[in-house]
């Protein structure tokens, strides 16, 4: 049976303007970093994307290396687009990135003009798209001149292969320089995608202020700290946790008893608020309007539904914020 999106999909989602641009992003965007690759169940990924769209999530975030294997998330997403969303492309914001290793040799990684052009062409072929809405440089390149990387981003916009450009994992000074270069080129930086959560607050040391001052949007990835800020860890490390899997960004050594105590105490505040810990953690990320969108991941439809329900209570009062701060700062 052909997929028909929910006719009420835009009624409950909040859409925030991305910096000073004309683009609005949903408060929650769906990331395809995990659970959409060639080793995952295709129909599950398809169900996740369908349900996200039904709930008003219009932004779907990918990268060339998402899988595993690398490239397979884009391939699967392209198939889902053709099967279910061929008439809805203009209602979707699709982003991809390049900056990590994709193919052998000296031209398959980092930030050279050659790599970025080749990578985006490959991504478009995998998804069978004429353009993406946002093309990111995924990480700064310590050897390629920043001007070369930024000129390449400017040119993919001028070629019509991307509508906007973004940065991910850039520090404050690198971001400031990149903003200046892109502004001079006439392709302003739309958005920055940093890691940000209660347990990872590095962007508060100047980056959010810079983005606000320059009119650049921000989308936070891993806002739930790879699942650590959910109810799954209130009783210790579950057997299927990412912390127990090889090549995971969440390591078993990161999940200490000290961290788990904080998780339990934060969960107690969430319960008083009538929320899950995940919902409160997302409300916290969005609390001061410096973050345009929180990039959520999911392996189950129910997780997307739970996260989006956080929209029902995004307000954190001064007392709650004080209690959360005390827990996070408690040694």
Q: Which domains does the chain have, with CATH numbers?
A: 15-225+276-314 (3.20.20.100)
pLDDT of amino acid 251: 65
Q: Is 202 helix (H, G, I), strand (E, B) or coil?
A: helix
Contact by Cβ (8 Å): 64, 98:
yes
Confidence band (pLDDT; 50, 70, 90) for 252? Answer: low
318, 323, 328, 331 alpha-carbon torsion, rounded to 10°: 140
Residue-averaged pLDDT of the chain = 95
Q: Token pair of 192, please?
A: 């920055």
| CA-atom Rg of the chain in angstroms | 19
Per-residue pLDDT reduced to its tens digit, 70-86: 999 999 999 999 999 99
Question: In angstroms, rounded to a whole number, what is the distance separating the alpha carbons of residues 167 and 174?
Answer: 10
Per-residue pLDDT reduced to its tens digit, 165-208: 999 999 999 999 999 999 999 999 999 999 999 999 999 999 99
pLDDT of amino acid 213: 98
Q: What is the DSSP letter of 195?
A: B
Q: Is 266 helix (H, G, I), strand (E, B) or coil?
A: helix
Per-residue pLDDT reduced to its tens digit, 22-58: 999 999 999 999 999 999 999 999 999 999 999 999 9
Contact by Cβ (8 Å): 110, 149:
no
Identify the helix (H) or strand (E) that includes residue 21.
Answer: none
pLDDT of amino acid 254: 75
- CA 149: distance to chain centroid? 21
Q: What is the DSSP letter of 91?
A: G
Q: Which residue intervals of the chain are DSSP H helices?
A: 42-54, 72-84, 113-127, 146-158, 172-185, 207-214, 257-273, 277-285, 301-308, 318-329
pLDDT of residue 246 exceeding 80, the answer is no
- Give which of 30, 120, 122, 40 is closest to 76, Cα–Cα: 40
Q: Token pair of 168, please?
A: 């991910």
Write b or e for each residue in 129-164: b if 16 or more Cβ atoms lie within 10 A of its Cβ, otherwise e.
Answer: bebbbbbbbbbbbeebebeebbbbbbbbbeeebbbb
Residue 61: CA count within 13 A, CB half-sphere: 27
Question: In angstroms, rounded to a whole number, what is the distance separating the alpha carbons of residues 167 and 131?
Answer: 18
Question: In angstroms, rounded to a whole number, what is the distance separating the alpha carbons of residues 45 and 74?
Answer: 12
Contact by Cβ (8 Å): 93, 59:
yes
Mean pLDDT of 248-261: 78
Q: Token pair of 198, please?
A: 């209660």
């Amino acid at each position: 049976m052909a997929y028909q999106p929910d006719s009420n999909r835009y009624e409950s989602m909040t859409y925030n303007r991305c910096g000073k641009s004309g683009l609005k992003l949903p408060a929650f965007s769906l990331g395809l970093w995990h659970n959409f690759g060639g080793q995952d169940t295709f129909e599950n990924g398809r169900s996740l994307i369908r349900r996200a769209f039904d709930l008003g999530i219009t932004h779907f975030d990918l990268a060339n290396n998402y899988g595993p294997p690398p490239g397979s998330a884009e391939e699967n997403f392209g198939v889902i687009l053709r099967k279910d969303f061929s008439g809805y492309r203009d209602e979707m914001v699709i982003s991809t990135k390049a900056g990590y290793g994709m193919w052998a040799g000296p031209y398959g990684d980092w930030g050279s003009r050659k790599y970025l052009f080749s990578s985006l062409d490959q991504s478009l072929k995998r998804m069978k798209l004429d353009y993406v809405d946002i093309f990111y440089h995924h990480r700064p390149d310590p050897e390629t001149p920043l001007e070369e990387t930024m000129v390449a981003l400017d040119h993919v916009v001028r070629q019509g292969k991307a509508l906007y450009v973004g940065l991910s994992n850039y520090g404050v000074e690198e971001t400031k320089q990149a903003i200046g270069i892109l502004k001079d080129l006439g392709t302003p930086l739309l958005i920055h995608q940093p890691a940000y959560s209660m347990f990872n607050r590095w962007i508060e040391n100047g980056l959010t202020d810079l983005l606000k001052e320059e009119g650049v949007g921000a989308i936070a990835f891993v806002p739930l700290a790879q699942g650590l800020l959910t109810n799954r860890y209130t009783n210790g490390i579950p057997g299927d946790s990412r912390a127990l899997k090889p090549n995971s960004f969440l390591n078993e050594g990161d999940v200490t008893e000290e961290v788990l105590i904080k998780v339990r105490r934060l969960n107690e505040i969430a319960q008083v608020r009538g929320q899950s810990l995940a919902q409160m953690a997302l409300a916290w990320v969005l609390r001061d309007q410096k973050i345009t969108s929180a990039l959520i991941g999911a392996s189950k439809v129910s997780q997307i539904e739970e996260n989006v329900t956080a929209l029902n209570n995004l307000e954190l009062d001064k007392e709650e914020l004080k209690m959360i701060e005390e827990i996070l700062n408690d040694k």
